[in-house]
Amino acid sequence: MNNSKKLPMKLVGVVAVVLIAILAFLVLQTRSINFNTSNEIVNTLRELKQVDAEWNVDVLRAKTGISTNYDQVASPLPLISRLASQLSDTTTKYWVGHSESISAMQPMLKRFQSLMDEKISAIEQFKSQNAILRNSSRFLPVAATDLVETTRSSSMSATARQTLERLLNDLLANAISYTQNPEAALKERIAQNAAALQAFTDDADTAVKERAGIFLAHVNTLMRQQDRGATLLAELSAMPTAQTLDQLSDAHTRENSKLLEHLQNYQRALVLYSVFLLCLLAWVGWKLFRNFQLLNTTNDTLKQTNDTLANANLELRESHVRLVQSEKMSALGQMVAGIAHEINTPLAYIRSTFNVVRDQINPFGKLAVEGLGFANAVRALNVTTRC
């Protein structure tokens, strides 16, 4: 009996625990999205893209000579480093608990960080290269002037000096033009001019030859650094940092949409489950109300039954008292009858004896009457005699 009662109670407990666990799971799955963090990620991506674009502009300005302050090229580095770290931290924090979204976003974050490291390294190389290029560009006219002055103080003829100055001016103009517009045809002309100047000064004085060598060395340095700068600019331009930022933004938007859809699905499930629980609670309440009514009815019936049993018990006690009294009276009657019987038996014997005696003494009665009459007659006679 006790085991049969315990089993339904255990079953009810298990069902209640399961229902509460399902409710807790749905509540956890419907945690509100931190839109502030999401907006912070979007703003960080937008700011990174803007800083990256401005950075590219600063690099081009430094390349074209519009900006001679190389600090502007390196100035965005702390900001980019801070924004990249902030993007990684906020993204990891925002997508915590969503393994699929983290798996989708993490490779893009690593790719972006790798690209930024490569770009920073290329920028550092560009700064060094561009500094050498600018120094060579500024020194090239000085070297040309030294070469001209040296030829004037040498034993070179006037015609030869004019030819050298023409070659020198052409080479200088082409070299300066190449720093602004590095075309292949211009590079070829520079190479031809440099070869012609080298050949022209091979038979010149040692001082002229030395100055020409210095000038040609700076021209070669300028050409080499210009080509290196063009290569670095091409590498910087080819680095898909902006595209990676767009991909990160699109991935965040896409994963955020999935998260919103996921949240809405679980919210709908939570609403339906809440309605189910309310219906279940209403049914349980109705059952409790019905059981309460049934319990009240049963209690009233039990009360009436108890009253009836109490009255019956009272009547039974009264009947018992009367029965006991009746039994007592019956026993007393039997006892009195026995006593009367025991008394009547000797009395009857005495009575019969007295009857016999009476029969025997009746003659004596007559004799007594007669004696009394005689006595009275004698007494009367005596009286008469006295008179």
165 and 253 part of one domain: yes
* 245 and 214 within one domain: yes
Same domain (yes/no): 68, 18: no
Q: Which regions in the chain score pLDDT beneath 50?
A: 1
Q: Is residue 69 part of a domain?
A: yes
**Side chain identity, residue 220:** N
Please tell me the distance from the alpha carbon of residue 5 to that of residue 333, in angstroms, as a whole number: 60
40 lies in the same domain as 26 = no
**Same domain for 4 and 153?**
no
Residue 1: predicted pLDDT: 46
Confidence (pLDDT) at 39: 81
- Rounded to 10 degrees, the C-alpha dihedral 107/113/118/123 comes to 150
Q: What is the reported pTM? A: 0.53
pLDDT of residue 40: 82
Based on the fold, state whether residues 168 and 73 are members of the same structural domain. yes
Q: Tens of pLDDT along 255-289?
A: 778 777 877 887 888 888 889 989 988 988 888 88
- As a whole number of angstroms, the distance between CA 189 and CA 225 comes to 17
Closest to 62 in 3D by CA, of 128, 143, 158: 128
Domain C-terminal end among 221, 245, 270: 270
Structure tokens at 153: 């103080």
CATH of the domain at 64: 1.20.58.920
Cα four-point dihedral sign 121, 123, 126, 128:
negative
Boundary-marking domain end, from 270, 285, 303: 270
Q: Are residues 173 and 49 located together in one domain of the fold?
A: yes
pLDDT the model gives residue 64? 62
pLDDT score at 231: 80
In a domain, 16, yes or no: yes
Domain boundary among 230, 245, 270: 270
Same domain, 40 and 11: no
Sequence length of the chain is: 387
Q: Are 8 and 138 within one domain?
A: no
Report residue 167 as tokens: 């070659």
- 19 and 154 part of one domain: no
- Tell me the residue range of the domain where 24 lies: 1-30
Q: Which of 111, 109, 107 is nearest to 41 (CA)?
A: 109
Q: What is the pLDDT of residues 121-177, one digit of tens each?
A: 877 777 777 777 778 778 888 888 888 888 888 777 888 888 888 888 888 888 888
In a domain, 260, yes or no: yes
Q: What is the pLDDT of residue 335?
A: 77
pLDDT at 245: 80
For residue 72, the model assigns a pLDDT of: 60
192 and 225 share a domain?
yes
Number of independent structural domains in the chain: 2
From residue 175, alpha-carbon distances to 8, 68, 106, 226 in Å are 98, 19, 47, 10
- The CA R_g of the chain, rounded to the nearest whole Å, is 70
Angle between helices 99-152 and 241-386 (to 10 degrees): 150
Q: Is residue 232 part of a domain?
A: yes
Q: Are residues 24 and 46 in the same domain?
A: no
